[in-house]
Amino acid sequence: MEVVIVPDAMAGGELIAETMAALVRRKPDALLGVATGSTPLPVYEALTAKVRAGAVDVSRVRICQLDEYVGLPSGHPESYRSTVLRQVVEPLGLTEDSFLGPDGTARDVPAACAAYDRALAEAGGVDLQLLGIGTDGHIGFNEPCSSLASRTRIKTLTRQTREDNARFFDHDIEQVPHHVITQGIGTIMEARHLVLLATGEGKAEAVARSVEGPVAAVCPASALQLHPHATVVVDEAAASRLRLADYFRDTYAAKPSWQGL
């Protein structure tokens, strides 16, 4: 696992956007897995700026979704499908044809989950999966004690996650669905490169447990320790509880320029 400490969220967004752009220059039809929440927005803004400046051609890129609420009506503005279309697909100049996501409105949820895992495999697998992290260490919507081998499936949100996400639902926790579909931890681990971005003091404890704690289902993001190519990008505040912060800084400062993330 590589840990990169950046000065602020903008710098993290730029670094990850450049990593995505470099991937797309090598592989124009790359499948990019994206995350929702506030944290990844600087990544999407920086990547969109590169596209508009002509620094990268993303016209053949495919975008896939990490997770989804169950039961929101189709087209609900806070469904993750709507969110990813609005924040990523449209700004990049792509259409829904380039987009893969689980069906949160399906009557048969287990079948929709299995279909999504199949669709990801048939698309050739995810090349780079961007992840945020919940305050409890969740990735996607894999709440604490999710199986580290889990596949895409239905999960029940913790009260903490529903409180955290109530800001997208008029600050009314009752509007936040209890159930979600999420790529499993085993599914996420199949992506060729995992890039987790965490910013702000509120994520410091979850980051420290994920990076320097034991690999344990109680902290789902700790599974990244088992991935052969995982990068954790954190700002100073989110890095504030890392015991090895100075080592991570020194390592990144000495990194060969040809290496990339």
Ligand X SMILES: N[C@@H]1[C@@H](O)[C@H](O)[C@@H](COP(=O)(O)O)O[C@@H]1O
CB of 89: closest distance to ligand X in angstroms? 17
In this structure, what token pair is assigned to residue 131? 């992840």
CB of 180: closest distance to ligand X in angstroms? 7
Catalytic residue, chosen from 14, 18, 68, 136, is 136
Mark whether 227 is an active-site residue. no
Per CB under 6 A, does 39 bind ligand X?
Answer: yes
Interactions with ligand X, residue window 129-188 (CB under 6 A): 132-134, 140-141, 161
Q: What are phi and psi of 128, to 5 degrees?
A: -140, 125
x/- string (CB under 6 A) for ligand X, residues 49-68?
Answer: -----------------xx-
Per CB under 6 A, does 44 bind ligand X?
Answer: no
Catalytic residue, chosen from 143, 164, 193, 235, is 143
Residue 72 in contact with residue 177, Cβ under 8 Å?
yes
Per CB under 6 A, does 20 bind ligand X?
Answer: no
In this structure, what token pair is assigned to residue 104? 């949160």
Per CB under 6 A, does 120 bind ligand X?
Answer: no
Mark whether 235 is an active-site residue. no
Q: DSSP assignment of 163-229, as one string?
A: HHHGGGTTT-GGGS-SEEEE--HHHHTTSSEEEEEE-SGGGHHHHHHHHHS--BTTBGGGGGGG-SS
C-alpha dihedral over 253, 240, 130, 37, to 10 degrees?
-150
Mark whether 29 is an active-site residue. no
Catalytic residue, chosen from 14, 68, 117, 138, is 138
- CA triplet 114, 120, 123: central angle to 5 degrees? 135
Per CB under 6 A, does 24 bind ligand X?
Answer: no
CB of 122: closest distance to ligand X in angstroms? 23
Which residues of this chain interact with ligand X, rule CB under 6 A? 35-39, 66-67, 132-134, 140-141, 161
